[in-house]
Structures are given as C-alpha cells and as structure tokens.
Amino acid sequence: MPSEPDEYAELVLDTVERIPPGRVLAYGDIAELVGQGGPRQVGRVMSLFGGGVPWWRVVRADGGPPSGHEVRALEEYRVEGTPLRPDGRRVDMRRARWWPDEEPGGPSE
C-alpha cells in the first residue's frame, strides 16, 4: 500500500477538494474530469487517501453515499443542505451534481 499519493491520486484529491458544499460528483465523474482511470480507480484513491478531503461529496452513480460511511455522509449532507432523494438515503444527482464550469470566476477560484 502506498504511503504517499501519486500524481493521479493528487489529481483526484484536488478535484474532490473543489466540490462545493451541498454538491457532489460520482466516482466516474471524477475520473472523467481528471482524464484517466475510472470509478474503481477513483474509489481506490478515496479509500487510501480520502480522509483529508470532503469524501462525502463523492458518491455512487445512483446517489448512494460511500459504502460503509452512510451514516456520517448523510449527516454531512444534511448539514450542507445537499439535495436528497425522497427516500432520504441517496443524493438527488440531478440537483446536486456539480461541474467545475459552474464555479463563479472560473476554475481558479
């Protein structure tokens, strides 16, 4: 197991840090944004190095919170006002998904 994130992991973590409160990205969305890997690779990065970033803002494609961390993630969603599905257990991806081009002032902010 690597002790330090490699270049790919740093790209993933930097992307996660940019997700605003109340918004989310799916694992596959992050892979698309960084231009390499896929959902599983992003998941591996998050499992190894994601503790220092807002990990709860990275969800499964169906809006489900990270496996094994559902209770804590749902608490964070409520605090941040993240839109949830009517069942209250998944994020409403249509309303909560974020893309960097939505950032005020562009990607450098």
Residue 40 lies in a domain: yes
Alpha helices in 1-109 (DSSP H): 7-18, 27-34, 39-49, 70-80, 93-96
Residue 108 lies in a domain: no
Q: What's the pLDDT score for residue 1?
A: 57
Range of the domain at 70: 7-101
Residues 102 and 78: their CA atoms lie apart, in Å, by 22
Considering its fold, how many domains does the chain have in total? 1
Q: What's the pLDDT score for residue 2?
A: 63
Closest CA to 55 of 30, 84, 89, 34: 30
pTM (two decimals):
0.88
Residue 106 lies in a domain: no
Q: What's the pLDDT score for residue 100?
A: 86
Alpha helices in 35-84 (DSSP H): 39-49, 70-80
Contact 13, 50 (CB under 8 A): yes
The CATH number given to whatever domain includes residue 80 is: 1.10.10.10
Q: What's the pLDDT score for residue 109?
A: 37
Residue 50 lies in a domain: yes
The residue type of 92 is D
Residue 15 lies in a domain: yes
Residue 109 lies in a domain: no
Mean pLDDT for each 10-residue chunk of the chain (109 residues)?
Answer: 84 97 98 96 96 97 95 97 96 96 52
CA-angle at 13, arms to 2 and 52, nearest 5°: 80
